[in-house]
């Protein structure tokens, strides 16, 4: 049976560590509890906020209505052949623990996405990505359940309409479905993605010439730990802003004006600028506004030094956006969901 708590603090459930309360709060640990919620007419009348790992949200106020935390567990190989395997994970599984498990099973494809915080069920919403790889590269299907009528549906990769940190779940289906599970097609004969310079340098630095998928995971974890703060120690939600994409003409103009600008050529001929570089050039690395600040080694990460409010962090983000726009003519877009 699902348990409902009143005036529950959400501080333990968001990686920024923002201390706000939910009017009502419940945690679904099984699929049956999710079904129970769907058929509870009293609960369904409440405004609803779905919460996964809380790693991509900034709370700016108490939450009216009901917060439903998805904590369902379970992962398995559902089919395989000599070349690949289809694996399934429940939405509430830890993303990084799931990645580690796939590698233990001898399956490659997710190693570049190691150590990204959050749960598996949240990963398709953002189409998470890192070091030259995106979730869509390995995702096969997403099983969802519609809030309106409890109907189950399976969406394939194309139907998820993935884009850069984008998907159908942030658009047409936002607030209309719960993600139940995610299926991935992974490889037994790995095709490693090492083009991202930081990975190659890290592997060379630890003397690995013929890396395995597990070596790539280790390199990625080392890089992320060296650059990004642990949310358990310093409140943050990882990258606060998206990397902006510009045309070739705009990039050419910027590169002439700003020597050393950090950017990555995309397949369609556009350039993805490194938002962290832009922010750093505006002098924000290590800056603080009281308890809200910019991380001292990664300007893309906003941090809560202890008792910052969501509104204080949001005000800092607005200052950063305005300065980048003024200096570069580039408008940054937040990656973190503001609530």
Parse the chain into domains and list their residue ranges: 5-70, 75-187, 197-227, 235-338
Look up residue 219 and give its two tokens: 């390199």
**Which of 39-48, 101-110, 220-229 shows the highest mean pLDDT?**
101-110
Which residues in 203-277 belong to E strands, given as ranges?
A: 235-239, 245-246, 263-265, 271-273
Taking the CA of residue 78 as centre, how many other CA atoms within 13 Å lie in the half-sphere pointing to its CB?
Answer: 14
Look up residue 102 and give its two tokens: 């796939």
pLDDT at 1: 78
pLDDT at 43: 85
The question of whether 335 is a catalytic residue gets the answer yes
Model confidence over 97-126: pLDDT tens digits? 999 999 999 999 999 999 999 999 999 999
Model confidence over 236-291: pLDDT tens digits? 999 999 999 999 999 999 999 999 999 988 889 999 999 999 999 999 999 999 99
The question of whether 44 is a catalytic residue gets the answer no
Quick one: pLDDT band at residue 227, thresholds 50, 70, 90? confident
Distance CA 286, CA 305 (A): 12
pLDDT at 266: 87
pLDDT at 223: 92
Look up residue 296 and give its two tokens: 């001292």
Q: Of residues 38 and 135, which shows the higher confidence score? A: 135
pLDDT at 41: 87
Q: Would you tell me the crossing angle of helices 213-227 and 95-104 to the nearest 10 degrees?
A: 150
CB 266 within 8 A of CB 245: yes
The question of whether 76 is a catalytic residue gets the answer no
- DSSP secondary structure letter of residue 130: E
Name the residue with tokens 């904590």.
71
> Hey, which residues does 51 pair with through a beta bridge?
69
- What is the arithmetic mean of pLDDT over 186-204? 89
- To which H or E segment does residue 8 belong? strand 5-9
**Assigned CATH topology for domain 75-187:** 3.30.465
CATH architecture observed for domain 235-338: Alpha-Beta Complex (3.90)
- What's the mean pLDDT when you consider all of the chain? 95
Residue 290: CB partners within 8 Å, gap ≥ 6? 308, 312
pLDDT at 249: 95
CATH for the 5-70 domain, from 3.30.43.10, 2.60.40.1730, 3.40.50.300, 3.30.70.1230: 3.30.43.10
pLDDT at 27: 96
pLDDT at 89: 98
pLDDT at 100: 98
Residue 216 confidence (pLDDT) above 90: yes
Residue 127: CB partners within 8 Å, gap ≥ 6? 134, 135, 136, 160, 162, 163, 164, 165, 166, 167
User: Of residues 122, 141, 165, 218, which has the active-site annotation?
Assistant: 165
pLDDT at 264: 86
């Amino acid at each position: 049976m699902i348990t409902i708590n009143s005036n529950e603090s959400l501080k333990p459930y968001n990686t920024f560590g923002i201390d706000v309360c939910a009017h009502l709060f419940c945690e679904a640990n099984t699929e049956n509890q999710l079904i129970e919620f769907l058929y509870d007419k009293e609960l369904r009348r409440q405004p609803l906020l779905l919460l996964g790992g809380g790693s991509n949200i900034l709370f700016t106020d108490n939450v009216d209505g009901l917060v439903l935390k998805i904590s369902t567990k379970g992962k398995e190989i559902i089919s395989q052949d000599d070349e690949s395997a289809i694996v399934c994970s429940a939405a509430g599984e830890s993303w990084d623990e799931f990645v580690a498990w796939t590698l233990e099973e001898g399956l490659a494809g997710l190693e570049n996405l190691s150590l990204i915080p959050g749960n598996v069920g949240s990963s398709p919403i953002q189409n998470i990505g890192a070091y030259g790889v995106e979730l869509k590269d390995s995702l096969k299907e997403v099983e969802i359940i519609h809030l309106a009528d409890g109907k189950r549906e399976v969406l394939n990769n194309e139907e998820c309409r993935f884009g850069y940190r984008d998907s159908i779940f942030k658009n047409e289906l936002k607030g209309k479905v719960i993600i139940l599970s995610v299926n991935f097609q992974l490889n037994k004969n790995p095709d490693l993605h090492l083009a991202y310079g930081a990975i190659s340098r890290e592997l060379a630095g630890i003397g690995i010439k013929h890396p395995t998928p597990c070596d790539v995971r280790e390199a990625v974890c080392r890089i992320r730990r060296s650059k990004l703060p642990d949310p358990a120690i310093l409140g943050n939600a990882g990258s606060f802003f998206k990397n902006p994409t510009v045309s070739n003409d705009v990039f050419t103009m910027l590169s002439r004006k700003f020597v050393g600008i950090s950017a990555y050529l995309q397949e369609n001929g556009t350039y993805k600028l490194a938002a962290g570089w832009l922010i750093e050039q505006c002098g924000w690395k290590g800056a603080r506004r009281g308890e809200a600040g910019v991380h001292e080694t990664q300007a893309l990460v906003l941090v809560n030094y202890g008792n910052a409010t969501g509104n204080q962090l949001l005000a800092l983000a607005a200052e950063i956006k305005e300065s980048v726009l003024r200096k570069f003519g580039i408008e940054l877009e937040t990656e973190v969901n503001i609530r």
